[in-house]
Structure 1
Amino acid sequence: MFLQRTAFALARRTPVRAIATRPFSTSVIRSNKPKYTVEKEGKILPFEEINTEEDLIPPGAKSGTVPTDIEHATGLERLELIGKMQGIDIFDMKPLDSSRKGTLENPIIVNGAGDEQYAGCTGFPVDSHTVNWLTVSRERPIERCGECGNVVKLNYIGPLDDPHAHDHGHGHGHPPHEEPKTFADYVKPEYWYR
């Protein structure tokens, strides 16, 4: 009983003007226009027709449904899924040739579109040692495994007009990258591989 009287007394003391300073109808804005528009409703572009990043924006799922992977994936993930749907392996995920040991004359080829690529060597025959990660780059395209002697070589398949190809970091305010010195830098030149 006491609580009811206290609540009633508090409600009576509250100024009415503070509660209703503006009518409710002006607080709500109604709009039937959708917030986001989808240009290509429900259409998945074929891999050959993808030209810009805007082509990798999905149409989204229909209202009230749960989107599938292809309906909400964007960017590189969407490009990979579209490629897989057409049987194209975008990132070349098949394993390297392990039927032979790479030599300086006949190295194992590693395709890469970036400035550097990593290749895991498990030895020859396969799995004869733990994985050694080898780094091949555009400046240093050949690398040899320190444990088994397997040789890998970078085959650059990236764009020919790459702005970093001739820049080497000079134009962006960054100091040029210097390769750290290793024991290979002190080997006589006649023993170098080229």
Structure 2
Amino acid sequence: MDEADFTDFVTHRGAALLRTAFLLCGGDRGAAEDLLQDVLERAFPKWRRIRGRPETYLRAALANAAANRWRSRSRRVREVPLHDGTPPITPGPEHQVVEEDRVVRALDALPPRMRAVLVLRFFDDMAEKDVARALRCSTGTVKSQTSRGLARLREVLDDADLPDPVHERNFL
């Protein structure tokens, strides 16, 4: 195993992989960090074999692990959240934060496979054939999931009933 090569890759590409995990986890940073950590732990022993295509391999592993977590979580008893689920108020350009939150919430409303296709395709800028290879499906499946996913996102984002996180919070 080339530990230095693995460490260098994670140092340089870790933030981009965390962003993918964040979107796949519905905007939950803690879950995204856990997901990425789990995937990196499983990838390290295989590093020599995946070194030629690590980014594609790890993004596919993130998408698959996120879907597996979603499946296993739905079979278990519901977890009790320690907070109300709304992210803390972030100072700065509020409009951008609200829009990003709306997109993350809309992505979270999609089935895991569809969410994975959209995240890999548009947020990670992967080609259709690369997404298909990463998710082990046909290019036609990627195209149909992309079309349906974008239509569903448009519905959710245009829906007037979508909660506005800024107006849900009590400001002091």
Q: Same fold (TM over 0.5)?
A: no
Which protein, 1 or 2, shows the higher relative CO under an 8 Å CA cutoff with sep ≥ 6? 2
Structure whose alpha-carbon radius of gyration is higher = 1
Task: Write 1 or 2 for the structure with the bigger share of strand.
Answer: 1
Q: TM-score range by the shorter chain?
A: under 0.3
